A and B are shown apart, each in its own frame.
Chain A
Amino acid sequence: MNEQIRLTHIQIVTLISTSYMPLMFWYYPRIAVEHSLYDAQWSVLGVLLASFLMAFLHGLINERFPDVHAVDVHTMVLGKWLGKFTASIFIPAYMGFVATSIYLYSLLIKFSFPNTPRAVIIGALCLVAFRGVWTGIASLASVASIIYPLTWIGVIISFGMALMQGDRFWITTHVADWMKMLDGVYALLPIYLGFTITLVLNPYHFNKKGVRLWSPVISMLTANFLIGLGFLGVIIDIGWHPNLHITFPLQYILELIRLQNGIIERMGIMIILLSTAFITLYVSIHFWGISDAIAKILNMKESRYKPISIVSALIIYVTAILFDNSEQAFHIVKVFLTPISWALLIGSPLLLLSVAFIRKLRVTLPEQNSKKQSPQGE
């Protein structure tokens, strides 16, 4: 029974952290420059602030409805049918953005393996991720607690080195055009698509005051450090306008890091390896999250998520291989996923919290339960 599975604080934070970023991580500096030009850094700063608001909103929902699954929160707050309807809106959106993330990552891998068919790269990734789903959330959490810190350290070292090799540390000191800056903030939010997994993980939290509220915020703090550093690395090394000509600016600067006489001269490849593990886990978590949510919506037993995951993995795989080219994927992110990300990441939690506040809805755990709960493995 899932009620008995409790994940440690670190596992929750790393699981949440592994559930967003890959969609846009490799090219968000280009999007920032495309929309805001020399105000790009303010756009990035703006979206970092928006992300803290988003994390706080998700934390507040989890804190107000402890141990309640995301789908159940929707039905409790919005009523059975409207709640299920709004929860089910997440499913196609999530399938779409996971498929887009996988496709964009396959493009990145194609730089290293140009002769390998894209369908095979995507197939291998989906297959491993699908196998991960069947091991269950506890195993995924254990893997996340290893993969995320390693990737985090690797990215810090790599982009720190990229930053050090910049010729001049010149950055803008004031906002030139507020509208362009806000346009940049709007366009950058999809980088956090996937964050809703925080609500799905709610029943797996160890019941301790504040854990539910601060886990997403801590996750956001660590992720935003990477986003800020990556952006600075790109801007200091490449500059603003050259970004507009590069598909994946972050991958581009990784290629420029070479340690002379080191055991591994091309440090960048290490990050590509780590990020392959990261995205596999990311896809696995979302296969699990989507399947788990579908099982909840259809009132099925929680263990039924396994067969559902076969269907969801297949749909995502087929969607990912249907993309024709990178422009098409970027267009989908811009036209569909950007407004969806604002609706799902900021709009939906704001609506749930507002209605819950007006209707004075809250779940209180029995004191006994709270005391008896212990983290997994204890």
Chain B
Amino acid sequence: MEVKKWVSLLFISFLSLPITGCWDYNKINERAPIIGIAADPVKGDDNKISFTFQVQRFTPSGGGKGGGGGGGTEAQLPTNYVNFHVVSTDLHTALASAQTLSIKKFYLGDFNLLLINRHLKAPQVAKVVLEFIRDTSSDRLAYLFCADKSALDILSLTGTHESPSDAIHDQLDAKAMQKAYFTRTKVWEFWRDIHRIGIEPKVGIIKVKGSTFDVAGMEAFSSYQPKYKLNRWDSVFFHLLNDHLHEMAFQIPDRGKNFEVHHIHTTSHIKVLHQKGKTILYDHIIVNGVLSNDEIDNQTNLSNRELSRYEQVMGKYLKNQSEKVLKKLQQQKLDIFGFGQYEVIQHPERLEDIQKNWPDTFSSALPLIKMDVHIHHTGTLM
């Protein structure tokens, strides 16, 4: 019995030797979490990318030296974060270069935001995204956004109460944030849509606004190439067509006057139909909302007939606006909705044809939008 005990003890001791912590243990205070990366083009050199790495400081500003080796610089900002600028051909070379400026080890596990300048070329975007997604330690749930002008400027903002990366991330994640004016794309979703058949990726746009930022509009991509910019209202109607709106409000023009509908919730179902040799992009949208103000400022109760007319007017207005956005994207041959994806899933035997010709088919297809609007009215009493 005694021998058995000693053998067990020996076995347990031996087992503790190869435990994996011996090789992968990293002290938390020796880490430098990169929370945001900005990628900008370098003037006159398409092979190089200007990277900015935003790193969280655990102790508020002070220390650190400007400049440094590896062609990089450390920007001193009176905050709890620090930016490292490096010009390089790819992400990992840039990270290695930036590591010469920091004694703490960079890591991408707590990453929040990947910002790419919308003027980058497709191979540059591909390089950044693919390197990031292939890095097993990186957080693929980070958001991917396009910077309208300089991505560096956004990561250098001083008007946010925390680091720009954290501030943007928190705002995007906030439940109360109205998300209809842009689109939230995570890095893995962008990569997935690149590889899916019959859908092109789309990414939200961030702009500098004074000393802070504004998230509005979206960029439609053709594979890795930023191709077409949709403004904030285009984005609203894109969401109306593509997925849903939540707690939205519209002012609907009607015979020189307006009425307002709020608490709008919508759902949409897209499909592709074929009739008489023509391809039809069919979208059934259901809209529910509450009338907040009628054309005579709620002075008298609306009759059912009048309310029904409001529903028709609103349906027509939303349909026209949505059709405009759909047609703009058709002209650009950019199916960011996924009509092509629906088509290939319904007709997998036509995979090769869809893979090759879908942009043209999408461009020449007829849009057919069916809008069901339901307006609820509480009457004149508050």
Are B23's CB and A116's CB within 8 A?
yes
Are B195's CB and A121's CB within 8 A?
no
Are A115's CB and B345's CB within 8 A?
no
* Residues from chain B with Cβ under 8 Å of A241 in the complex: 195-197
CB within 8 A of A120: which of B11, B18, B351? B18
* Residues from chain A with Cβ under 8 Å of B18 in the complex: 120, 123-124, 127
CB within 8 A of B20: which of A121, A167, A240? A121
Q: A38-B345, A172-B348, A241-B196 are in contact. Are A124 and B23 (CB under 8 A)?
A: no
Interface residues of B in 10-54 (CB under 8 A from A): 11, 14-15, 18-20, 22-24
Q: A167-B243, A256-B141 are in contact. Are A116 and B345 (CB under 8 A)?
A: no
**A171 CB–B CB distance under 8 Å:** yes
Are A242's CB and B195's CB within 8 A?
yes
Q: A111-B136, A120-B23, A131-B11 are in contact. Are A242 and B192 (CB under 8 A)?
A: yes
The 0/1 profile, CB within 8 Å of B marked 1, for residues 85-123 of chain A is 000000000000000000000000101111111001101
Interface residues of B in 226-255 (CB under 8 A from A): 243
Are B348's CB and A113's CB within 8 A?
no
* Residues from chain B with Cβ under 8 Å of A114 in the complex: 24, 136-137
Q: Interface-forming stretch among B68-76, B312-320, B327-335, B336-344?
A: B336-344
**A315 CB–B CB distance under 8 Å:** no
Q: How far is it, in angstroms, between the C-alpha of A113 and the C-alpha of B18 when the chains are bound?
A: 13
Q: How far is it, in angstroms, between the C-alpha of A116 and the C-alpha of B342 when the chains are bound?
A: 44
Q: How far is it, in angstroms, between the C-alpha of A172 and the C-alpha of B341 when the chains are bound?
A: 11
**B346 CB–A CB distance under 8 Å:** yes
**B140 CB–A CB distance under 8 Å:** yes
* Residues from chain A with Cβ under 8 Å of B353 in the complex: none
**B349 CB–A CB distance under 8 Å:** yes
The 0/1 profile, CB within 8 Å of B marked 1, for residues 158-169 of chain A is 000000000110
**A299 CB–B CB distance under 8 Å:** no
Are B24's CB and A242's CB within 8 A?
no
**B106 CB–A CB distance under 8 Å:** no
* Residues from chain B with Cβ under 8 Å of A115 in the complex: 23-24
**B191 CB–A CB distance under 8 Å:** yes
* Residues from chain B with Cβ under 8 Å of A260 in the complex: 173
Interface residues of A in 118-138 (CB under 8 A from B): 120-121, 123-124, 127-128, 131
CB within 8 A of A38: which of B11, B136, B140, B344? B344
**A2 CB–B CB distance under 8 Å:** no
> In chain A, what residue has the closest Cβ to B15?
A127
Q: A171-B345, A172-B348, A177-B349 are in contact. Are A113 and B20 (CB under 8 A)?
A: yes
Are B15's CB and A128's CB within 8 A?
yes
CB within 8 A of B348: which of A39, A116, A238, A245? A39
> In chain A, what residue has the closest Cβ to B192?
A242
CB within 8 A of A173: which of B19, B24, B338, B346? B346
Q: How far is it, in angstroms, between the C-alpha of A121 and the C-alpha of B22 when the chains are bound?
A: 12
* Residues from chain B with Cβ under 8 Å of A44 in the complex: none
B278 to chain A, nearest CB (A): 22
**A176 CB–B CB distance under 8 Å:** yes
* Residues from chain B with Cβ under 8 Å of A112 in the complex: 24
Tell me how many residues of A have a C-beta within 8 Å of chain B: 37
Are A117's CB and B15's CB within 8 A?
no
> In chain A, what residue has the closest Cβ to B140?
A255
Are A124's CB and B15's CB within 8 A?
yes
Q: How far is it, in angstroms, between the C-alpha of A115 and the C-alpha of B15 when the chains are bound?
A: 18
**A258 CB–B CB distance under 8 Å:** yes
Are B24's CB and A113's CB within 8 A?
yes
B241 to chain A, nearest CB (A): 14
A248 to chain B, nearest CB (A): 11
Q: How far is it, in angstroms, between the C-alpha of A345 and the C-alpha of B113 when the chains are bound?
A: 49
**B213 CB–A CB distance under 8 Å:** no
The 0/1 profile, CB within 8 Å of A marked 1, for residues 192-235 of chain B is 10011100000000000000000000000000000000000000
A218 to chain B, nearest CB (A): 34
The 0/1 profile, CB within 8 Å of A marked 1, for residues 53-84 of chain B is 00000000000000000000000000000000
B329 to chain A, nearest CB (A): 18
**B188 CB–A CB distance under 8 Å:** yes
B138 to chain A, nearest CB (A): 10
**A37 CB–B CB distance under 8 Å:** yes
Q: How far is it, in angstroms, between the C-alpha of A281 and the C-alpha of B349 when the chains are bound?
A: 43
> In chain A, what residue has the closest Cβ to B269?
A168
Are A170's CB and B345's CB within 8 A?
yes
A109 to chain B, nearest CB (A): 8
* Residues from chain A with Cβ under 8 Å of B141 in the complex: 255-256, 258
13 interchain pairs, CB-CB under 8 A: A37-B351, A38-B345, A38-B348, A39-B348, A109-B20, A121-B20, A128-B15, A171-B345, A172-B348, A240-B196, A240-B197, A241-B197, A242-B195
B residues with a Cβ closer than 8 A to A are 11, 14-15, 18-20, 22-24, 136-137, 140-141, 173, 188, 191-192, 195-197, 243, 338, 341-342, 344-346, 348-349, 351
A residues with a Cβ closer than 8 A to B are 37-39, 109, 111-117, 120-121, 123-124, 127-128, 131, 167-168, 170-173, 176-177, 238-242, 244-245, 255-256, 258, 260
A-B contacts besides A114-B136, A255-B141, A260-B173, 19 pairs, CB < 8 Å? A38-B348, A39-B348, A113-B20, A114-B137, A116-B20, A124-B15, A124-B18, A127-B14, A168-B341, A172-B345, A176-B349, A177-B348, A177-B349, A239-B192, A239-B195, A239-B196, A242-B191, A242-B195, A256-B141
Q: Which 4 A-B pairs have the closest CB atoms?
A: A38-B348, A176-B348, A116-B23, A242-B195
